[in-house]
């Protein structure tokens, strides 16, 4: 069992109140670490350290390409510790080991992508008149806050922290209280690089304490939050009270729209993988299957058959489906399944699973729900488990209406060989990302990612994210 500290102003520190939080391995319910329960005072120290570092010459004078080299060095360290980090992520989140490896590889790519971008974010000149030079520069915003959810901790820290450092900001991370392990290891890598004190800070603790203190701190200049809608709203409000911008990456109820003319094998695999990945505890999970009515029976039978053959077990054994994060999350899923029993039909699953020697983990059979109302809670709310709800459509307009029928708009999959159908839907669906005949191509490091509607606003990943962490300044010079 490990004891961790927070990292503030280049030093490892305990919380001011010395209270701790237990970190539990979801696969077997055992305690694997303790982290400090950070307080408002701890957050205040971290933000002040980041503010002071931002204004000091030893960070300002680091050249753009040198910032890139720092990020490359972090990427190299992550890569060198690939096995260790994947095992740690699998242990901490419960996700199957091969998926944890994919997360580690994505983290490497984020640091490389933004390392390469560090000296390439160009400004502009604007034609005004003879004797006037007008130029636009992208300056760093200052202190950036990064509030991280429990489901993809290493990837999500990497994507926003790398973009913020590439553009010359300083950083305060608040990791997820349930899954801080890889964030801690990443912090050790930053410590080994001996960056100027205060450039990178990491506080741990509960959301309503450390998280809320960070989001509302008056010295923060930008907040990146990834998590649930309600928390996102309160984080956004706290930032707005200081007139500070936020990037909110929130939940989803993403549809896979399957037409009868699709390539059946790839659609089947796409639909299944998108809902079982990380046991469905994924913001972009394909949790709604919208299938053409004439094709429903054949397709859904195939899904049920595959669901029944999937293996379930601890993350480290790399089965198809790992445990649910904790009892609270598990009970939430089971309550939704009880509702499904009353309101619709469960075609397979719906039951807890006991895994021998891992009895304290919260495992469940992947579940397919049919026959529910389009306006029901099951159809509208994030379940956040390996639970797929099925709806049918008669024609393209009904498919479109169904796709847009929730408050969310994060990701959409469209499966058809008809190019007109695919592009028509892509142009009409309110969704931050649309995948045609695939779901999540290439891991998405380079593609802007974010929500329509209550899935959030602002974009992470890709080049677009660099603008979250910069502010435009226009300079007009009159000369003679
Ligand atoms: P959560 O909202 O409970 O917590 C997210 C983070 O916010 C945690 O670090 C938590 O400690 C902190 N927090 C909680 N209350 C806070 C407050 N009042 N002020 C400031 N911070 C606070 O979310 P979660 O349960 O960790 O993650 C699951 C949710 O995240 C799901 O809804 C999922 O869809 C969403 N998510 C979205 C994305 C995306 O990129 N769009 C990615 C992953 C997860």
- Structure token digits, residue 4: 């961790």
**What's the alpha-carbon Rg for the chain, to the nearest Å?**
23
Report which of 64, 22, 106, 24 is spatially closest to residue 326, judged by C-alpha positions: 24
C-alpha count within 13 angstroms, C-beta hemisphere, residue 163 = 28
d(CA 37, CA 49): 19
Nearest CA to ligand 1 atom 19: 212
Cα(151) to ligand 1 centroid in Å equals 9
250 lines ligand 1 (CB under 6 A): yes
151 lines ligand 1 (CB under 6 A): yes
d(CA 156, CA 163): 11
- Structure token digits, residue 388: 């797929």
β-sheet bridge partners, residue 464: none
Q: Which of 227, 241, 246, 331 to mutate to test the pocket of ligand 1 (most atoms within 8 A of CB)?
A: 227
Tell me the pLDDT of the chain (480 aa) as tens digits. 899 999 999 999 999 998 999 999 999 999 999 999 999 999 999 999 999 999 999 999 999 999 999 999 999 999 999 999 999 999 999 999 999 999 999 999 999 999 999 999 999 999 999 999 999 999 999 999 999 999 999 999 999 999 999 999 999 999 999 999 999 999 999 999 999 999 999 999 999 999 999 999 999 999 999 999 999 999 999 999 999 999 999 999 999 999 999 999 999 999 999 999 999 999 999 999 999 999 999 999 999 999 999 999 999 999 999 999 999 999 999 999 999 999 999 999 999 999 999 999 999 999 999 999 999 999 999 999 999 999 999 999 999 999 999 999 999 999 999 999 999 999 999 999 999 999 987 678 999 999 999 999 999 999 999 999 999 999 999 999
Domains and CATH numbers, the chain: 2-250+458-476 (3.40.605.10), 255-445 (3.40.309.10)
- Angle of helix 97-117 relative to helix 64-80, nearest 10 degrees, comes to 160
d(CA 75, CA 340): 44
Cα(224) to ligand 1 centroid in Å equals 11
Q: Which atom of ligand 1 is nearest to the CA of 215?
A: 20
226 lines ligand 1 (CB under 6 A): yes
On whether the CB atoms of residues 324 and 367 are closer than 8 A, the answer is no
| 89-103 residue pLDDT tens | 999 999 999 999 999
- Kindly give the residue spans of alpha helices, DSSP state H, lying in 216-346: 229-241, 264-276, 296-309, 327-343
Cα(227) to ligand 1 centroid in Å equals 2
Q: Which helix (H) or strand (E) covers residue 258, if one does?
A: strand 255-258
Cα(432) to ligand 1 centroid in Å equals 19
| 284-321 residue pLDDT tens | 999 999 999 999 999 999 999 999 999 999 999 999 99
DSSP character string of 55-105: HSHHHHTS-HHHHHHHHHHHHHHHHHTHHHHHHHHHHHH---HHHHHHHHH
227 lines ligand 1 (CB under 6 A): yes
Cα(293) to ligand 1 centroid in Å equals 36
d(CA 436, CA 448): 16
The overall longest dimension of the chain from CA atoms, in Å, is: 83
438 lines ligand 1 (CB under 6 A): no
The overall pTM is greater than 0.95: yes
Burial class (CB in 10 A: 0-12, 13-18, 19+), 107: buried
| 11-34 residue pLDDT tens | 999 999 989 999 999 999 999 999
d(CA 70, CA 73): 5
Location of structure tokens 């590439």: 166
Please tell me which residue in 89, 249, 292, 381 is annotated as part of the active site.
249
Q: Which atom of ligand 1 is nearest to the CA of 460?
A: 40
d(CA 191, CA 236): 30
Strand, helix or coil for residue 203: strand
Q: Give buried/exposed letters for 275-310 (b at 16+ CB in 10 A, else e).
A: bbbbbbbbbbbbbbbbbbeebbeebbebbbebbeee
269 is catalytic: no
Strand, helix or coil for residue 287: coil
d(CA 247, CA 223): 6
């Amino acid at each position: 069992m490990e004891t961790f500290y927070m990292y503030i102003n280049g030093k490892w520190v305990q919380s001011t109140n010395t209270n701790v939080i237990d970190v539990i391995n979801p696969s077997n319910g055992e305690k694997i670490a303790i982290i400090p329960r950070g307080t408002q005072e701890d957050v205040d120290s971290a933000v002040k350290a980041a503010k002071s570092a931002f204004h000091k010459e030893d960070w300002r004078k680091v050249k753009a390409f040198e910032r890139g080299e720092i990020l490359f060095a972090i990427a190299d360290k992550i890569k060198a510790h690939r096995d260790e980090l994947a095992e740690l992520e699998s242990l901490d989140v419960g996700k199957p080991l091969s998926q944890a490896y994919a997360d580690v590889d994505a983290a490497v790519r984020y640091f490389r992508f933004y390392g390469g971008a560090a000296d390439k974010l160009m400004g502009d000149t604007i034609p005004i008149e003879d004797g006037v030079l007008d130029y636009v520069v992208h300056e760093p915003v200052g202190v950036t806050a990064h509030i991280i959810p429990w489901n993809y901790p290493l990837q999500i820290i990497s994507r926003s922290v790398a973009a913020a450092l590439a553009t010359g900001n300083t950083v305060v991370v608040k990791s997820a209280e349930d899954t801080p392990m890889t964030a801690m290891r990443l912090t050790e890598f930053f410590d080994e690089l001996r960056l100027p004190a205060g450039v990178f800070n990491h506080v741990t603790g509960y959301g309503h304490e450390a998280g809320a203190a960070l989001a509302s701190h008056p010295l923060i200049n930008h907040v990146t939050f990834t998590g649930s809608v309600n928390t996102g709203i309160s984080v956004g409000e706290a930032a707005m009270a200081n007139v500070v911008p936020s990037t909110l990456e929130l939940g989803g109820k993403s549809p896979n729209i399957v037409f009868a003319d699709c390539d059946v094998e790839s659609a089947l695999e796409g639909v299944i993988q998108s809902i079982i990945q990380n046991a469905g505890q994924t913001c972009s999970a394909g949790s709604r299957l919208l299938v053409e009515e004439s094709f429903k029976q054949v397709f859904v039978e195939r899904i049920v058959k595959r669901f029944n053959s999937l293996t379930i077990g601890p993350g480290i054994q790399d089965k198809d489906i790992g445990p649910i994060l904790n009892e609270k999350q598990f009970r939430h899923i089971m309550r939704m399944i009880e509702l499904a029993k009353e309101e619709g039909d469960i075609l397979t699953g719906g039951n807890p699973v006991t895994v021998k020697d891992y009895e304290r983990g919260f495992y469940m059979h992947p579940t397919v729900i049919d026959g529910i109302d389009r306006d029901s809670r099951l159809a509208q709310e994030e379940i956040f488990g390996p639970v797929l709800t099925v709806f049918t459509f008669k024609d393209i307009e009904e498919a479109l209406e169904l796709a847009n029928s929730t408050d969310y708009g994060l990701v959409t999959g469209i499966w058809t060989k008809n190019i007109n159908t695919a592009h028509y839907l892509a142009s009409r669906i309110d969704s931050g990302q649309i995948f045609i005949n695939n779901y999540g191509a290439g891991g998405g490091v380079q593609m802007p990612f974010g929500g329509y509607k209550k899935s959030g606003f602002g974009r992470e990943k890709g080049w677009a994210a660099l603008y979250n962490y910069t502010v435009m300044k226009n300079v007009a010079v009159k000369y003679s």
